[in-house]
Amino acid sequence: MGEETTSTPPPPSQQESKPEPKPKQEQPKAPPKPEKKEEPAKKPAASGGGNSVNAPMPGTVLDIKVSEGDQIQAGQVVLVLEAMKMENEIKASGEGTVKEILVRKQDSVDSGDPLIVLE
């Protein structure tokens, strides 16, 4: 009968060179999506404390519901702020008298800006 031969692989230096696998290209990552506040329109937004009402978020003043000298109660809507195409009612955190209104309709405000001073 015939003789069986087993082939042994050649030493590494004599093996066919295989092309090196290409490193995986990282797909460009999309910029992180801003967190959306699940806040329906007309939901009362938190307002500043102490002796002023501050903007809870950046936006545009749409309407001012009080005048200087008005007595206001805690929870009373003092102005309407548009942010991200939503109207947000800004409420007073405490009661007092409106000493000064620091903004006008259509003013742009940043988060934390004082809007109304109370005494």
Note the pLDDT of residue 64. 97
Contacts of 37 (CB under 8 A, 6+ apart): none
- Report domain extents, the chain: 51-119
pTM > 0.75: no
Closest CA to 107 of 85, 79, 86: 79
Question: What distance in Å separates the CA atoms of residue 97 and residue 78, rounded to the nearest whole number?
Answer: 12
**Confidence at 99, pLDDT banded by 50, 70, 90:** very high
Assigned CATH class of 51-119:
mainly beta
Q: Which pLDDT value is given to residue 73?
A: 94
